[in-house]
Amino acid sequence: MTPMTVLVTGGSSASGVAAARALAAAGHRVFTVGSDDARIKAAAGQAGSAVTPMTCDLASLDSVRGLAADIRTHGIERVDGVIHLVGGWRGAKGIEDQSDEDWESLERGAVTTLRNVSRVFYSQLEASPHGRLAMVSSTAVSSPTAAAASYAAAKAAAETWTMAVADGFRRAQSGNKEQPVEQHSAAVIFVVKALLDPAMRREHPDRRFPGYTDVEELAAAAVGLFDHPAASLNGQRILLAK
Ligand SMILES: NC(=O)c1ccc[n+]([C@@H]2O[C@H](COP(=O)([O-])OP(=O)(O)OC[C@H]3O[C@@H](n4cnc5c(N)ncnc54)[C@H](OP(=O)(O)O)[C@@H]3O)[C@@H](O)[C@H]2O)c1
């Protein structure tokens, strides 16, 4: 596979470090993004010297446009992949105490950041011979609990947005009978129940983590996106929960 330029948004969490490290190890040029300069630089240090940290509030469309411009100053004309790892979590006791503050936070983290990143980088992903957009959703979308109603609803909105991006790629790359075009860009949803940081496993060697997905497995799935044909990936909901 030709090396790609991949943006890992939410690169300062354990999943972001694992994804950035695995993508860089696979030979890709990796930019990681977080809202906090110190945290994203420290995480990039853990992910390896080939990873370039960028600071941006992904909840602001203007800031994401600025991020795209900053990436161009690194000599990059086209981002080929976006692995979107921003979401957040808020829960309550049930339906009645789902607060507006929690909803606004989830909408901003899980939906607005995804909308901004995909709107700004859409044309680059669509133009790439191996364009890929991935976001991570939750098993809570198909089996929501009352306690996590806002979280599940925000993730459902993010999934629907991602399916719409997949439709955009499909329509742009469908060609026609006379001039068929091979699909080359794909938007996918990874579905997990919970992510497991290796530090948690080290801290609790005797504990079982049923249904959890190791962050390295998520990272490997992100790398694998560039090894599979776009037509087989586009619009897929890929279950990584055990
Ligand atoms: N963890 C789980 O068990 C679990 C379960 C199901 C689904 N998921 C999904 O999996 C993905 C990864 O989850 P995670 O737990 O590793 O991370 P997360 O807590 O959802 O997101 C944290 C990452 O996003 C960055 N971030 C947050 N707001 C930002 C903003 N406005 N602009 C730029 N960066 C921002 C954070 O860095 P800064 O704070 O430094 O900006 C951090 O790198 C998410 O989509 C999450 O919803 C996770």
Listed as own residue / partner, the contacts of 169-174 with beta carbons closer than 8 Å and 24 or more positions apart are: 169/125, 169/126, 169/131, 169/230, 169/234, 170/234, 170/235, 172/126, 173/126, 173/230
Q: What is the pLDDT of residue 177?
A: 77
Name the residue at shortest CA distance from atom 5 of ligand 1: 194
pLDDT (mean) for 230-241:
97
Pocket of ligand 1 (CB under 6 A): 10-13, 15-16, 33-36, 39, 56-59, 85-88, 109-110, 113, 136, 138, 192, 194-195
Q: What is the pLDDT of residue 180?
A: 76
DSSP assignment letter at 213: E
Q: What is the pLDDT of residue 182?
A: 87
Could you give the 3-state DSSP secondary structure of residue 53? strand
Amino acid at 111: V
Residue 116: name the closest of 61, 79, 164 by CA: 61
Element (H, E) at 51: strand 51-55
Residue 85 Cα to ligand 1 middle (Å):
5
Which CATH number applies to 5-239: 2.40.50.140, 3.40.50.720, 3.40.50.300, 2.30.40.10? 3.40.50.720
Q: What is the pLDDT of residue 2?
A: 79
The model's pTM: 0.97
Question: 33 - beta bridge partners?
Answer: 9, 54
Name the residue at shortest CA distance from atom 21 of ligand 1: 86
Q: What is the pLDDT of residue 238?
A: 98
pLDDT (mean) for 34-48:
96
pLDDT (mean) for 122-150:
98
Residue 86 Cα to ligand 1 middle (Å):
4
Q: What is the pLDDT of residue 179?
A: 80
pLDDT digits (tens, 9 = 90+) for 151-184: 999 999 999 999 999 999 999 998 787 887 889 9
Separation of CA 98 from chain center: 26
Name the residue at shortest CA distance from atom 10 of ligand 1: 136
- Ligand 1: residue of 60, 85, 197 to mutate (most ligand atoms within 8 A of CB) is 85
Q: Would you tell me the crossing angle of helices 215-224 and 14-25 to the nearest 10 degrees?
A: 40
Percent of the chain with pLDDT over 90: 92
Q: What is the pLDDT of residue 77?
A: 93
Q: What is the pLDDT of residue 169?
A: 97
Name the residue at shortest CA distance from atom 27 of ligand 1: 86
Ligand 1 atom closest to the CA of 215, numbered from 1: 16
Among the residue ranges 100-104, 144-148, 197-201, 214-218, the one predicted with the least confidence is: 197-201
Q: Would you tell me the crossing angle of helices 113-127 and 149-172 to the nearest 10 degrees?
A: 20
Name the token pair of 124.
């680059």
Q: Is the per-residue pLDDT at 231 higher than 90?
A: yes
Q: What is the pLDDT of residue 181?
A: 82
Residue 112 Cα to ligand 1 middle (Å):
13
Name the residue at shortest CA distance from atom 24 of ligand 1: 10
Q: Is the per-residue pLDDT at 125 higher than 90?
A: yes
Name the residue at shortest CA distance from atom 34 of ligand 1: 34
Listed as own residue / partner, the contacts of 51-55 with beta carbons closer than 8 Å and 24 or more positions apart are: 51/11, 51/20, 51/21, 51/24, 53/11
Name the residue at shortest CA distance from atom 3 of ligand 1: 194
Q: What is the pLDDT of residue 23?
A: 97
Q: What is the pLDDT of residue 175?
A: 77
Residue 33 Cα to ligand 1 middle (Å):
11
